[in-house]
Structure 1
C-alpha cells in the first residue's frame, strides 16, 4: 500500500473513532463551522464527506448508512429524462419561470458534449427554477479569481468562479466551484454536481439547515 493510501486509511479510522464525540459536540454546543473544521480538518476532504463505494466510513454514510454519490447520481440518472421533458414543456410557455428555464436549456443545448455532468448541472440549476424557489443567495458567481468574493453573512452557498464577465445562469466549464459555509470557503471542486454533493453531505455532517428558500430543491 502506498504511503498516501496508508495516510487516508489512518484518517478514516481516526474519523470513525471520533465520530460519536464529533456528533455530540455538534449537537450539544453548535460551535461555528470554522471551529469544527479546525478540530477535524479531515471534514474538508471531499473523500471524507462523500462515500465513493470503496470505504464505508465516510461522514455522510456514518450518519445515514447511505452512499451519497451512488444514491444521488443514480436517482438523477433515473429522473433526468422526465425532468428534462417537464422543463422543456414549461420553457415553451410564457412567463418569468418559463423564460428562465428556456435560457438554461438554451445554454445546455449549445454545449458540444451532453454527458452526465452537463445533464446533472442543468437539472440542479433548473429544478429550483421550476419549483419557483429563490436561488440567488445560494448559487453565486465570482467573475475574477483574483478578487475576494463577497461572502459576508453567507450561511451556505455554492460559488462558481469564472474567468470572464459571463452573466450566464449556468456554467459548464468554470474555473472551480467553491463550497461556502458560514462565510468560509470549505473546499473547491471542478464540477458543479460534485460540489452540490459535498454541500449536501456537509449539511448532514454539521447539522445545518437547508438553504433558506430551497427546501423543496434539497
Structure 2
C-alpha cells in the first residue's frame, strides 16, 4: 500500500506542497504553540532522547509516550512549516512510525481514538456496503466478483491449497514517498488504519488513486467532517443510511 510518490522537502518543491497552513481535515490541534517555558532547543534535546530510546531492544514505553506528548508542538511545526521528506521524519522521529504512537498522535491532532472510531464505523456500515456491492454487476472486474464470492465461503475452505508451498507469508507494508515506512502489519484493515494515521500526522495529501476511499474512511468510518464531504461520498452515505 503506497501513498505520495512525489517527495517533499526536495529542491524547488520544498515547502510548496501544501501551501495552506491551516486545518483541512477537521484537525482540532493543528499547529499549537511551544509549551510555556520551553523552546525549540530544549524540545530538540527531548527529541534526541527519544531517538536514543528507540534504538534499544525494549524502549521505555512510558518515557516515549511522555516525551512524544511533550514534543508534539515541535513536531507539528516541523511537519507544517518545513515539510521534510518522510524518510527524514522517520530518522528524526522514529517513534512516530510505530502503531502505538500513530494512534496517540492522531488523538493529539483530532481528539479522536483512531482505532475505535475506524472499526466502529466500519462495523456499522459493513453489512450495507456488502449489500450495495452485491447489487451491482462486475463482469469487467473479475477480482471484485471473486471477492464477493469468497464472502459466501467458509474462510477455511481451500486454505491448504492457498498456503501449499508458501515458505513465508504475505508482508503487509506501507510505502510512502518510495520508502517502506512500516512493515509486518497484521492485515489490510490495520494497514489502512495506520495509513490514515500517518497521512494526518505528516499532513500528507490523500493519494490520488485512493482519494475517494480515503474520504470514505475519514467521513463515514472515522466520523471526521461528515457534514462537509464531497458529492460522491455524500451519495454513498445516503445509500448506507437508507
Q: Confirm or deny: 8 A CA contact 2:138 2:144 kept in the other structure.
A: no
In the TM superposition, residue 95 of structure 1 has moved relative to its aligned partner by: 4.4
2:209 corresponds to: 213
Distance 1:72 1:186, change over 3 A: same
Which of structures 1 and 2 has the larger relative contact order (alpha carbons within 8 angstroms, sep 6+)? 2
Whether 1:7 and 2:46 are equivalent positions in the alignment is no
1:27 corresponds to: 80
> What RMSD over aligned residues (CA atoms) do the two structures have, in Å?
2.4
SS at match of 2:81: helix
1:79-101 Cα deviation digits (max 9, x unpaired): 011001111111xx35425x442
Q: TM-score, normalised by structure 2?
A: 0.56
2:118 corresponds to: 72
Question: CA–CA distance in 2 between the matches of 1:205 and 1:174?
Answer: 29
In the TM superposition, residue 43 of structure 1 has moved relative to its aligned partner by: 1.2
In the TM superposition, residue 214 of structure 1 has moved relative to its aligned partner by: 2.1
More helix by proportion, 1 or 2? 2
Name the count of aligned residue pairs: 149
Q: Map 1:56-95 to 2 at 5 A.
A: 58-90=104-136, 93=137, 95=139
1:157-201 Cα deviation digits (max 9, x unpaired): xxxxxx59xxxxxxxx95220011111111111211111100000
- Flag structure 2 segments of 5+ consecutive residues without an equivalent: 1-56, 157-165, 215-242
Q: Confirm or deny: 8 A CA contact 2:139 2:145 kept in the other structure.
A: no
Distance 1:191 1:14, change over 3 A: same
Q: Confirm or deny: 8 A CA contact 1:175 1:190 kept in the other structure.
A: no
In the TM superposition, residue 105 of structure 1 has moved relative to its aligned partner by: 1.1
Question: CA–CA distance in 1 between the matches of 2:59 and 2:210?
Answer: 39
More strand by proportion, 1 or 2? 1
Q: Confirm or deny: 8 A CA contact 2:172 2:191 kept in the other structure.
A: yes
Question: CA–CA distance in 1 between the matches of 2:182 and 2:100?
Answer: 11
Among 178, 182, 198, which residue is 2:177 paired with?
Answer: 182
Whether 1:195 and 2:194 are equivalent positions in the alignment is no
Q: Map 1:107-146 to 2 at 5 A.
A: 107-112=150-155
Among 96, 102, 107, which residue is 2:140 paired with?
Answer: 96
Structure 1 residue ranges (4+ consecutive) displaced by more than 6 angstroms after TM superposition: none
Question: CA–CA distance in 2 between the matches of 1:5 and 1:35?
Answer: 23
Among 89, 92, 104, which residue is 1:39 paired with?
Answer: 92
SS at match of 1:61: helix
Distance 1:211 1:18, change over 3 A: same
